[in-house]
Amino acid sequence: MISFPSRLTRGIEAFLHHKLIDLKKKEKSLKESDPFFDQQRTGNNSLEEDVDEQIGRFETEVKISFIKKQIVQVRKALTNLKIGKYGICEKCHNMIDTDRLAVKPDTTLCVKCAKDKES
Ligand SMILES: [Zn+2]
């Protein structure tokens, strides 16, 4: 089995840690921007305001769920780094193309398996 040189994985680990912190910050600020979290919000909104709030809330939820997925993905990649499985496809267990890892360091699927998942 080919494993990545430690100087390389350390760089990736640092990058992923940074990304994780960034994602958590984004998640937090999105949650805070949700109008339903606003305690000061008035109970007698016009219908228009309510609709705006609903749309805003939906958009926020979509964004948060997208960020949550990314957080899970980054954590998975970090775990793989720790256990020496980084760069190995979690589905077919082949090595993931290094070009792909360079573009998407938090990926845990090879190109083929990622395409299978999409279709
Ligand atoms: Zn694969």
Q: What are the residues whose beta carbon lies below 5 Å from ligand 1 (ion)?
A: 89, 91-92, 110, 113
Q: How far is the CA of 28 from the centre of ligand 1 (A)?
A: 33
Q: By the 8 A CB rule, do 110 and 97 touch?
A: yes
pLDDT for res 42: 59
* Å from CA of 1 to ligand 1 middle: 15
Q: Where are the domains of the chain?
A: 6-37+47-87
pTM of the entire structure? 0.80
pLDDT digits (tens, 9 = 90+) for 29-85: 999 887 665 555 556 678 888 888 888 889 999 999 999 999 999 999 999 999 999
Q: Which long-range contacts (CB under 8 A, 24 or more apart) does 103-111 make?
A: 105/12, 105/15, 105/16, 105/77, 106/16, 106/19, 106/70, 106/73, 106/74, 106/76, 106/77, 107/73, 107/77, 108/73, 108/76, 108/77, 108/80
Distance 68 CA to ligand 1 centre (A): 23
Q: What is the mean pLDDT of the chain?
A: 88
What local confidence, expressed as pLDDT, does residue 43 receive?
62
- CA–centroid distance, 97 to ligand 1, in Å, is 10
User: How many Å is the Cα radius of gyration of the chain?
Assistant: 19
Higher pLDDT: 3 or 12? It is 12
Mapped onto helix, strand or coil, the DSSP state of residue 108 is coil
The reported pLDDT for the residue numbered 44 is 66
